[in-house]
Amino acid sequence: MTLDTVIPARVLVTKIGLDGHDRGSRIVAAYLRDAGMEVIYTDPWQKLEAVVALALQEDVDVIGISSLATDHLLVPKLMKALDEAGLGHIRVIVGGIVPAEEEADLLKAGVSRVFHPGSGREEIVEAVAKLAVDAADDRTDD
């Protein structure tokens, strides 16, 4: 099925590992809210299992990981955990400080897109909206 236009996309904006930078994640949450999406926002330091549990319970379309202090290095593990939990349809994006070499690794692990500092409102909103539709299209259970 496709996302109904009336039903807002649901996005989990969260932080994993040890990082506490939240200026960017708060801004991104506000961007998505202003674009009419429903954002589940969490504290930093989420365990990978917690991200999986959150994504499952909240039935989100997109997970946005904000990572400024090298915590993106854990994202490949997260991708695996999501897959194992049957949440492979969820699109995962990462924003923050990700060096080019490692961006390639993330994409290879299944991350849909990496956003760098300087990304603007429009760019982020458009991409997330599209990924939410893709995720809904890929659902297998209804």
Tokens of 129: 């909206």
The size of the interface with ligand B12 (CB under 6 A), counted in residues, is 25
Tokens of 16: 């994993």
Where does the chain show beta strands of DSSP type E?
Answer: 10-14, 38-41, 62-67, 91-96, 113-115
Nearest one of 84, 36, 87, 92 to 67, comparing CA atoms: 92
The least CB distance from residue 13 to other proteins, in Å, is: 9
The size of the interface with other proteins (CB under 8 A), counted in residues, is 58
Show the binding pattern over residues 51-90: x = contacts ligand B12 (CB under 6 A), - = does not.
-------------x-x-xxx--------------------
| Footprint on this chain of ligand B12 (rule: CB under 6 A) | 13, 19-25, 27-28, 64, 66, 68-70, 93, 95-97, 115-119, 124
